[in-house]
Amino acid sequence: MQAGPLHLDGKMLLSPLCGVTDSPFRTLARRHGAAMVFCEMTSSDGLVRKNPKTFELLEYRPEERPVGSQLCGSDAAIMADAARMCADLGFDSVDLNYGCPVRKVIARDAGAAMLTDLHRLERVTKAVVDAVSLPVTAKIRIGWDKNTVNAHEVARVLEGTGVRWITVHARTRTEKFTGQAHWEVIARVKEATSLPVIGNGDVKTPEDAKRMVDETGCDAVMVGRGSFGNPWLFERGNRILAGLDPGPEPTPRERIQTAVTHLHDLARKKGEYASTLMRKHIAWYVRGLYDNSTLCREVNHAKSIAEVEELLWRYLDRLETPRASTAAGHGAPAAANGDGTATIASALDGAG
């Protein structure tokens, strides 16, 4: 896919995900075939006020390229200033968040609230497009609620502003992250605009990615929660979209090795605090594996990077030691709280 100067080598993109898509996570996604990755949403107000925490969210490494920033806000002048700052930081694109369902964002007329005022949406988007030479893109939901689904109209307005593509998270604001995504609306958006359309919502397997492209005609697929503990989804999705066999799922050894790599990468940035930050990721890496709940419990009590790494290798030894095959054998369903479910639920206070 081409968006002005930006060339995407592949059709599987990593979503912006608050609290998840930091630099180590994005690096892993790119290494495993994500065509493009995004920093989590940043507030345009925070950026223009030069809030150091906002700047920290925008740190990236050259090997992540192409890497996009994502801005949230509803004031045209502030969004334009913030976009200029993203350009100065060297990002490959600026995405505009028109989907965040979180109450404090909506209260400032931003995120998904922008879908309810198309004049404002047009004004803000145009101000950003005029402010920077980088490709500007938009990520929308399909509407505010099931009675006001307007993604096709939003797409037409956005097309007139000069954005380079539209990503459609196929849920309404009211649905937040629940229920099944309405892929048929992605197909409707694709018909309504000549812009490239990126489909998003409920892609958890390579087969889902193919089905989304086949059913909606979307130009590329953006993956959010399906990437948690599963960077292999990008390369396996690339293969199936190229008409090839997706290849095998990662082995337990690959999962643990990747968790260790992720841990060390995070430690380079965050020091010993990485052992706490890695808890949710580890729960995701071992989802569905034998006795994962014991590992997660141990990791939650670990105090250092070295201790977490030791626990991961010891767990792999347990996995690779032949066991009597019983109902609790390899591949048995994950125990409650050991499969990352609770962690995902707590991470679900997401932004898009």
CB of residue 225 to ligand FMN, shortest distance in Å:
3
Amino acid at 139: K
Residue nearest to ligand FMN (CB): 352
Catalytic, 39? Answer no
40, 351 contact by CB (below 8 A)? yes
Angstrom CA distances, 114 to 47, 105, 233, 346, stand at 19, 10, 31, 26
In the shown chain, the binding pattern of residues 282 to 321 toward ligand FMN, with x for contact by CB under 6 A and - for none, equals ----------------------------------------
68, 91 contact by CB (below 8 A)? yes
Residue 211 or 318: the one with the smaller Cβ distance to ligand FMN is 211
Dihedral of alpha carbons 214, 227, 141, 90, sign: negative
DSSP codes, 28-49: HHHHTT-SBEEEEEEEHHHHHT
- Report the residue from 73, 143, 199, 201 that binds ligand FMN according to the rule CB under 6 A: 201
Residue 190 or 225: the one with the smaller Cβ distance to ligand FMN is 225
Q: CA neighbours within 13 Å on the CB side: how many for 109?
A: 11
307, 265 contact by CB (below 8 A)? no
- Counting contacts by CB under 6 A, is residue 177 touching ligand FMN? yes
In the shown chain, the binding pattern of residues 5 to 24 toward ligand FMN, with x for contact by CB under 6 A and - for none, equals ----------xxxxxx----
If you count them, how many residues does the chain have? 352
Query: Is there a cis peptide before residue 66, judged by omega within 30 degrees of 0?
Result: yes
- Counting contacts by CB under 6 A, is residue 40 touching ligand FMN? yes
Residues near ligand FMN (CB under 6 A), total: 27
- Counting contacts by CB under 6 A, is residue 158 touching ligand FMN? no
Tell me the catalytic residues: 100
Binding stretches for ligand FMN (CB under 6 A): 15-20, 40-41, 70, 97, 99, 139, 169, 177, 200-203, 223-226, 347-348, 350-352
